[in-house]
Amino acid sequence: MTEEFLIEWTFSPINYFEEPVEFRCRNETIRIDKGCAESRIPPDRYAPDHSICDQLHKELNLKFLAVQILNHQPYTLNNPSILQGNNITVAIEGLFCRTKISN
């Protein structure tokens, strides 16, 4: 069985949302809490071209913009990291880098 993909974002300030938030996007769930947002994607729904990651990132940014209308505070939403087992993919300025962690 292939492990699910964990897409994870960090953001600041860590208390940008007053309480944990969970919402559905593109048939996936995104959870936001204390400086971190994450979505767990089954392997059969994760595209090798990372398109779902881009879609989720855009939707997540829209949530931040909606909150910004209410709190008038700036925020920083970092590009996502994608983890699957010991494999990590990090988006850096629109590029994807892959590495494998070994014992």
Q: Note if the pTM is more than 0.75.
A: yes
What are the phi and psi torsion angles at 102 (to 5°)? -120, 155
Q: What is the pLDDT of residues 10-62, one digit of tens each?
A: 999 999 999 999 999 888 999 999 999 999 998 888 776 678 888 999 999 99
Q: Among 61, 51, 69, 78, which residue's Cα sits nearest to residue 23? A: 61
- Report the relative pairing of strands 36-41 and 28-33 from DSSP bridges: antiparallel
Domain assignments of the chain as residue spans, ordered by start: 5-100
Q: What is the pLDDT of residues 56-89, one digit of tens each?
A: 999 999 999 999 999 999 999 998 888 887 666 6
**Cβ–Cβ < 8 Å for 1, 42:** no
